Amino acid sequence: MGRAVTLASHRLLAADELIAATRVQRTEAVDDPQVEALALAVSANLPVLLWGEPGIGKSATLHQLADGLGTPMETVIASVHEPSDFAGLPIVGDDPAVDGVPMAPPDWAVRVTRQGEGLVFFDELSSAPPAVQAALLRVVLERRVGSLQLPDRVRIVAAANPPTSAADGWHLSPPLANRFVHLSWVHDPRVVARGLAGTWPAVEVPTVDPRRLAGAVARARGTVAGFLTARPGLAHHLPTDAESRGSAWPSPRTWEMVLRLLAFHHAAGTGTDAFRATVVGAVGDGAGLEFLSYLDELDLPDPERVLADPGAFALPARGDRQLAFLTAMVSAVQSRTTRQRWEAGWVVLAKAVDAGVPDVAARAAMDLAAMRQVDWPVPDAVDAFIEVLRLSGRMPGPA
């Protein structure tokens, strides 16, 4: 009997070695916009939802991404959990009237919190019933699981199958859908063939250049603010049909996502196709494509370079570019306010007056005036905006 058991164990050991050999693989850098889009959104710490048919490699790519980030990955099958698994289970303490009743978090949330970082992967999201989707709202947006606050370095990714191919599939609720960057995930037969031969694509995380950081944020603010000023109807537009509501659509929340994605795009030099996919994934096809067309035609100057040499700056001729640039310039001054940069901002605004468009610069003038320190002299360029500043309370009226 003992010999038979030993022989069977040896056979299983050989089988396990064979299985391990089939899992040995290497990675190589490839140009894959959908993978780059995923890496961009995750680097920007925005919740991502991958839409794709079952079995096409979403989970495997996320394991590669976690390896690229050097962080552990926790997989949670959303469809097999109860709402309390995300909202927390009440634990009664010694004196609930004084201390309240804390909501105990699940083990995966405790693990990533102890580690201080991690990639949390919610799989089968479209198979989760509405009550579970509602419980996930705070997890995805506020990063709270029960009474536990997830660390800032925890990234959230989810995957869903279209309702037609999901087991007991549901449309996502609009509040949950509006918390994600939605990315379509498809398989490339050539990638699959090469992967099964032993080489899979590597997931490379974009690297932010610290030297570009301030200018990138300022340019992104100016661009998004300028676009929504020109197209206010796109600031919030809830689709009428259930399928579209369960996908990407524009809201102030998703435009904030676009702002962050654009700042990362400028600061990290990410690929254009990947960036465009994330924008459409945040605000939807209609608003996203219109914003990208606006961005292609905008070509804003770098506000940091302009503030360094404002005398050499020429104001753009188009009104939308003027507004977007002045918004970006004010944001740059606000991010690092010194007297020299503040005065350079007024030199730029003076050019708007000389160009005959003081109305475009009025909002920027009000914001710059609010940054003035009491010991800074009032620049001559203020004279062109004196009335609007008095009406706004930024400058006292005549005695």
Residue 186 corresponds to which tokens in the numbers above?
A: 């498809």
pLDDT of residue 39: 92
Where do runs of H (alpha helix) occur along the chain? 2-23, 33-43, 58-69, 84-87, 96-99, 107-115, 130-141, 174-177, 189-196, 213-230, 242-245, 252-268, 272-283, 285-298, 303-308, 319-335, 339-354, 358-370, 386-392
Measured between alpha carbons, how far is 210 from 231 in angstroms, rounded to an integer?
A: 32
Helices 358-370 & 319-335, crossing angle to 10 degrees? 10
pLDDT of residue 396: 47
pLDDT of residue 356: 82
Helices 319-335 & 213-230, crossing angle to 10 degrees? 140
Look at phi and psi of residue 100 and say left if phi exceeds 0, alpha if psi is from -120 to 50, else beta. Answer: left
pLDDT tens for each residue of the chain, 399 residues long: 556 556 667 778 888 888 888 887 787 777 888 889 999 999 999 999 999 887 777 788 888 888 888 889 999 998 888 888 888 777 766 666 656 667 778 889 999 999 999 999 998 888 888 888 888 888 998 899 888 899 999 999 999 887 665 555 677 889 999 999 999 988 778 878 888 887 877 778 888 999 888 889 999 999 999 899 888 999 999 998 888 898 999 999 999 999 999 999 999 999 999 999 999 999 999 999 999 999 988 878 888 889 999 888 888 888 888 888 898 999 999 989 999 999 999 998 888 888 887 777 888 888 888 898 989 988 887 777 776 566 555 554 444
Buried b / exposed e over 357-378, threshold 16 CB at 10 Å, is bbebbbbbbbbbbeebeeeeee
Measured between alpha carbons, how far is 99 from 208 in angstroms, rounded to an integer?
A: 44
End-to-end CA distance of the chain: 108
Residue 399 corresponds to which tokens in the numbers above?
A: 């005695």
**Taking a C-beta distance cutoff of 8 angstroms, is the pair 393, 359 a contact?**
no
